[in-house]
């Protein structure tokens, strides 16, 4: 294999623990020339950019690895960092130099990872970050001494304000020499075994450098996930490791702890020798004093409640004007296109399929941006970890974790940002369960449906004269969804993800002032990810649904055609009679005739034309695929009390829940712009089956409401779940179990209600 002779680094990786300012440094090194992609096959983001500034290495690719505490990966994020550093990430060559970002206020634990990376033999530059915080805490860190002990360049920096950045760039001008093996040692009983296993591995896999073989041998000995891949690649080594483990266990050698004890045993005195303390370490820091309030027994939960209320308020109401504006913009754009394009199916496809599809994507943006702004603030200040700390006990009972609180509460506004927010969960099992139950929280898109049916069918009286039935019904729907989310989480924990017990070992990082720039850019990044990834799917499905509602096209109805002609004829006749009465010609009457009479005639004509258009739309949807499927599935939906129109409405609502309102409006031919809710409400109440029974009874309405609480009527949620879990399996399971809940509970409500004689 040709040996690379370049000394100017082409690829630089940033590695380090979480919360050490790695991303701040990354932004500083790369400026705005960044791109975010995904690592192949996983949902972990790959952030990369080009080294900015001027120097020999300018333009080198800089990759911001996910934060990790060790090279013994416990989570997906850590696995990615590990795979990249050891060169096992497909399509990702080993970096030429690794910048280890360490927190100067927390050297011992941060250097643990550094010693592991040094063991790999990769060229390393240590960026000693947060020198300002260290100084404030009374810590004096001897960077040169540290460089000397570690045998690699150490550059003190303050990533927040850019101090030390130039020195770091200079240190990256050329690839430093690969470091010597750090001086930590394993306990002799284990060291001897590791050496023997390393020799065996070198025999079996000759292209592995000796130092790397030792690293791999130690990993395989102490970690099952790291041992597993050798079963195929080096079966002899695999068997030898199992044998060695058994022998060590026999002799009661604590070999799984040997690595940690060896590294920390070496680091403890090393750190003592390079750090001088000017303050009593037991003295409470500012961060400790803030914590005394924010995680206080009484004040903590109250303040957290306040923070949530604020976020809720923001996502629910501050986003509304922007969402209304987007919707209005989409309508305007549609009208504009209608005005310039010739009538026909292409125009319909563009307006009702494509433009509506784009609208369906963009309308979620205000909520997503706001939510991610607040989440970013919480992460950046360190408060996010405290919310998990406060809520963990409560959430654990339900099979979730403290970190699930924020994603679940966000889902009351919209499941999409909620599911995206679940990324903050480090534990993969907890993250999946959170994603799976988030759509059961009643989101804002269910509100129009709730409102329509509650207003139409729940009596307006009040319980004990104060609690309105309608309000109670609304609250009951929210409670129903929430309770079911917890039940579902418990079921998933107990039966689906069993055995894989979640651990809760979480750092509570010191509070820091947020960097608004960084919060802002992260918000933009996440919004972009939503628009690009989920947007494609939502857009595509919108067009499919448009197609299903528009084809096959209904033949023109001669009766409706006749009514339209009749209206035109009546209008012309009225104009003629006005003209005759005023002594004007037919052409003059419009401009010079009596305004009131002409307008009245025109309004009458318009009313008939609108009614005809509404009926044509109704005819169209009855004829369409959706209408036909609605009729085809009616027998299945009938036990829930739903006729074919409701069934078709439910189908169309798959685009987004609130669509059922406009579909029903079309089906009942009430048109969309003439005071729709009231008209539709009356139309629903008046609808009868051929035998004279009403289609909608209060029982049917309750059944439909229950259906909407549970059913996953939202392709956007499926799209984002696909993106966040990287497989269609979980979205499919999600849709199925929620549909089963919806069908089961609606059946129970309708059949039970009828049996009790409430039908």
Partner 1 sequence: MPTLRDLDPGDRGTVTGYVADDPPGRLLEMGLLPGTLVEVVRRAPLGDPIDLKIRGFHLSIRKHEAAAILVERVPAS
Shortest Å distance, C-beta 506 to partner 1: 5
For 362-422, what is the HEC assignment? Answer: HCCHHHHHHHHHHHHHHHHHCHHHHHHHHHHHHHHHCCCCHHHHHHHHHHHHCHHHHHHHH
Interface residue with partner 1 among 24, 129, 202, 222 (CB under 8 A) is 222
Angle between helices 659-667 and 447-457 (to 10 degrees): 50
**175-214 mask for partner 1 (x: CB under 8 A)?**
----------------------------------------
Does 439 engage in binding with partner 1 (CB under 8 A)?
A: no
Preceding amide of 87 cis, omega within 30: no
295 part of the interface to partner 1, by CB under 8 A: yes
- Figure out which of the listed residues 102, 193, 390, 408 binds partner 1, where binding follows CB under 8 A: 390
CB of 309 to partner 1, least distance (A): 18
Of 76 and 472, nearer to partner 1 (C-beta) is: 76
Cβ closer to partner 1: 249 or 327?
A: 249
Using an 8 Å Cβ cutoff, are 664 and 645 in contact? yes
Nearer to partner 1, 433 or 646 (CB): 433
Closest to partner 1 by CB, 92 vs 291, is: 291
Q: How far is the CB of 146 from partner 1 (least distance, A)?
A: 16
Alpha helices by DSSP H, listed for 234-318, are: 235-250, 255-274, 286-294, 299-313
Q: Is 112 in the site for partner 1 (CB under 8 A)?
A: yes
Q: How far apart are CA 151 and CA 82, in angstroms?
A: 22
493 lies in the binding site for partner 1 (CB under 8 A):
no
Q: Supply the minimum distance, in Å, between the C-beta of residue 724 and partner 1.
A: 24
- In whole angstroms, what is the distance from residue 251 CA to residue 234 CA? 26
Instruction: State yes or no: residue 256 binds partner 1 (CB under 8 A).
Output: yes
- Does the protein bind partner 1 through residue 138 (CB under 8 A)? no
Q: Select from 36, 94, 199, 261 the one that contacts partner 1 (CB under 8 A).
A: 261
Phi, psi of 668 (to 5 degrees): -90, 5
The span of 168-176, 288-296, 455-463, 723-731 binding partner 1 (CB under 8 A) equals 288-296
Nearer to partner 1, 300 or 376 (CB): 300
Q: List Cβ neighbours of 106 (8 Å cut-off, separation of 6 or more).
A: none
CA distance 384 to 404: 11
Does 378 help bind partner 1 (rule: CB under 8 A)? no
- Of the two residues 386 and 645, which places its CB atom closer to partner 1 in the complex? 386
Q: Are 14 and 25 in contact (CB under 8 A)?
A: yes
**Among 23, 30, 48, 106, contact with partner 1 (rule: CB under 8 A):** 106
* 281 is a site residue for partner 1 (CB under 8 A): yes
Give whole-number Cα distances, 683 to 361, 624, 650, 665, 694, in Å: 31, 21, 18, 9, 11
Q: Is 257 in the site for partner 1 (CB under 8 A)?
A: yes
Q: Which of 8, 138, 174, 264 binds partner 1 (CB under 8 A)?
A: 264
Q: Which stretch binds partner 1 (CB under 8 A): 294-302, 363-371, 639-647, 725-733?
A: 294-302
Residue 430 near partner 1 by CB under 8 A: no
Terminal-residue alpha carbon distance, the chain = 80
105 binds partner 1, rule: CB under 8 A: yes
Q: Choose between 124 and 403: whose C-beta lies nearer to partner 1.
A: 403
Residue 389 in contact with partner 1, rule: CB under 8 A: yes
Question: Minimal CA–CA distance to 628: which of 533, 519, 554, 720?
Answer: 554
User: Which residue is associated with the tokens 């919360």?
Assistant: 19
Maximum distance among all Cα pairs of the chain, rounded to whole angstroms:
119
Instruction: Name residue, tokens 């917890």.
Output: 486
Cβ of residue 396: shortest distance to partner 1, in angstroms? Answer: 8
What is the closest distance, in whole angstroms, from the C-beta atom of residue 267 to partner 1 in the complex? 9
C-alpha dihedral (466, 470, 473, 479), degrees to nearest 10: -70
C-alpha dihedral sign at 275, 277, 278, 284: positive
- 725 is an interface residue for partner 1 by CB under 8 A: no
* Rounded-to-integer distance, Cα 630 and Cα 350, Å: 25
- Does residue 381 interact with partner 1 by CB under 8 A? no
* 490 belongs to the binding site for partner 1 (CB under 8 A): no
Q: Are residues 204 and 234 in contact, defined by beta-carbon separation less than 8 angstroms?
A: yes
**Strand ordering across the sheet containing 124-129:** 34-38, 45-50, 61-64, 11-16, 97-103, 124-129, 154-156
Of 65-73, 530-538, 542-550, 612-620: span binding partner 1 (CB under 8 A): 65-73
Q: How far is the CB of 484 from partner 1 (least distance, A)?
A: 23
Contact call for residues 608 and 598 (beta carbons, < 8 A) = no
454 counts as binding partner 1 under rule CB under 8 A? no
Cβ proximity to partner 1: between 96 and 103 the closer is 103
Assess 300 for contact with partner 1 (CB under 8 A): yes
Question: Which residue, 116 or 360, has its beta carbon nearer to partner 1?
Answer: 116
Integer angstrom CA distances of residue 376 from 423, 515, 669: 12, 10, 46
**Whether residue 552 has a cis bond before it, omega within 30° of 0:** yes
- Binding of partner 1 at residue 542 (CB under 8 A)? no
Q: Smallest gap, in angstroms, from Cβ of residue 304 to partner 1? A: 9
Cβ-based nearer residue to partner 1, 136 or 177 = 136
Return the closest-CA partner of residue 10 out of 179, 175, 177: 175
Q: Which is nearer to partner 1, 108 or 135 (CB)?
A: 108
Are 652 and 713 in contact by the 8 Å Cβ rule? The answer is no
Residues 498-527 binding partner 1 (CB under 8 A) are: 503-510
Nearest to partner 1 of 323, 508 (CB atom): 508
Spatial contact of 337 and 350, defined as CB atoms under 8 Å apart:
yes
Q: Restricting to residues 30-49, which ones interact with partner 1 according to CB under 8 A? A: none
Nearer to partner 1, 70 or 444 (CB): 70
- According to DSSP, the β-strands at 462-463 and 467-468 are antiparallel
Size of the site for partner 1 (CB under 8 A): 46
| Binding region for partner 1 (CB under 8 A) | 69-70, 72, 74, 105-106, 108-109, 112, 222-223, 249, 254, 256-257, 260-261, 264, 281-282, 288, 291-292, 295-298, 300-301, 385, 388-390, 392-394, 396, 402, 503-510
């Amino acid at each position: 294999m040709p040996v690379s002779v370049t000394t100017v680094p082409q690829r630089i990786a940033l590695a380090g623990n979480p919360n050490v300012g790695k991303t701040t440094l990354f932004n500083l090194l790369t400026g705005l020339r960044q791109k975010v992609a995904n690592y192949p096959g996983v949902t972990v983001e790959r952030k990369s950019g080009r080294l900015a500034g001027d120097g020999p290495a300018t333009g080198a690719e800089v990759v911001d690895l996910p934060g990790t505490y060790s090279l013994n990966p416990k989570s997906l994020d850590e696995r990615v960092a590990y795979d990249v550093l050891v060169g096992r990430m497909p399509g990702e060559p080993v970096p030429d130099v690794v910048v280890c970002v360490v927190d100067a206020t927390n050297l011992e634990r941060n250097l643990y990872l550094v010693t592991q990376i040094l063991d790999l033999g990769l060229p390393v530059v240590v960026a000693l970050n947060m020198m300002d915080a260290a100084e404030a805490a009374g810590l004096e860190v001897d960077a040169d001494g540290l460089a000397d002990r570690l045998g690699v360049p150490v550059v003190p920096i303050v990533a927040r304000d850019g101090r030390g950045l130039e020195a770091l760039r200079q240190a990256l001008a050329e690839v430093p020499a690969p470091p010597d093996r750090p001086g930590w040692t394993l306990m002799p009983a284990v060291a001897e075994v590791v050496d023997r296993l390393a020799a065996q591995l070198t025999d079996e896999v000759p292209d592995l450098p000796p130092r790397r073989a030792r690293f791999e041998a130690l990993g395989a000995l102490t970690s099952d996930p790291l041992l597993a891949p050798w079963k195929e690649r080096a079966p002899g080594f695999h068997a030898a490791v199992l044998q060695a483990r058994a022998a060590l266990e026999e002799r009661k050698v604590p070999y799984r702890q040997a690595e940690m004890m060896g590294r920390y045993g070496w680091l403890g005195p090393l750190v003592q020798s390079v750090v001088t303390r000017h303050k009593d370490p037991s003295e409470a820091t500012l961060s400790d004093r803030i914590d005394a309030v924010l995680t206080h027994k009484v004040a903590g939960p109250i303040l957290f409640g306040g923070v949530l209320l604020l976020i809720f308020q923001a996502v629910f109401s501050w986003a509304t004007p922007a969402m209304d504006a987007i919707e209005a913009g989409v309508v305007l754009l549609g009208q504009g296109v209608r005005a310039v394009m010739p009538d026909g199916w292409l125009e319909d496809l563009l307006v009702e399929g494509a433009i509506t599809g784009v609208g369906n994507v963009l309308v979620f943006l205000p909520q997503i941006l706001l939510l991610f702004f607040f989440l970013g603030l919480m992460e950046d200040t360190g408060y996010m970890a405290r919310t998990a700390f406060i809520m963990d006990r409560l959430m654990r009972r339900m099979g979730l974790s403290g970190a699930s609180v924020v994603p679940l509460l966000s889902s009351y506004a919209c499941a999409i940002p909620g599911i995206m927010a679940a990324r903050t969960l480090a534990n993969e099992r907890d993250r999946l369960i959170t994603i799976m139950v988030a759509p059961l929280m009643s989101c804002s898109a269910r509100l129009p449906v709730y409102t329509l049916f509650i207003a139409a069918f729940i009596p307006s009286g009040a319980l004990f004269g104060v609690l309105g039935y309608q309000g109670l019904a609304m609250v009951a729907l929210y409670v129903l969804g929430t309770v079911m989310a917890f039940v579902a989480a418990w079921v998933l924990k107990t039966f689906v993800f069993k055995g894989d017990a979640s651990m809760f070992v979480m750092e509570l990082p010191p509070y820091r002032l947020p960097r608004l720039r960084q919060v802002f850019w992260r918000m933009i990044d996440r919004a972009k990810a939503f628009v690009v990834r989920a947007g494609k799917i939502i857009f595509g499905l919108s067009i499919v649904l448009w197609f299903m509602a528009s084809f096959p096209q209904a033949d023109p109805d001669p009766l409706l055609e006749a009514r339209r002609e009749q209206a035109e004829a009546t209008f012309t006749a009225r104009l003629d009679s006005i003209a005759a009465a005023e002594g004007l010609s037919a052409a003059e009457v419009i401009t010079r005739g009596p305004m009131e009479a002409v307008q009245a005639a025109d309004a009458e004509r318009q009313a008939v034309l609108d009614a005809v258009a509404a009926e044509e739309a109704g005819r169209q949807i009855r004829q369409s695929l959706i209408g036909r499927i609605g009729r085809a599935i009616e027998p299945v939906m009938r036990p829930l009390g739903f006729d074919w129109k409701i069934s078709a409405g439910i189908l169309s609502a798959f685009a987004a829940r609130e669509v059922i309102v406009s579909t029903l409006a079309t089906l009942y031919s009430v048109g969309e712009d003439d005071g729709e809710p009231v008209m539709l409400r009356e139309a629903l109440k008046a609808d009868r089956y051929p035998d004279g029974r009403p289609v909608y009874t209060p029982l049917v309405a309750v059944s439909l409401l229950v259906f909407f609480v549970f059913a996953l009527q939202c392709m956007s949620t499926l799209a984002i779940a696909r993106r966040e879990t990287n497989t269609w399996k979980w979205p499919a399971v999600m849709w199925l179990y929620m549909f089963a809940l919806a069908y089961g509970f609606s059946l129970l409500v309708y059949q039970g209600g009828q049996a009790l004689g409430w039908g």
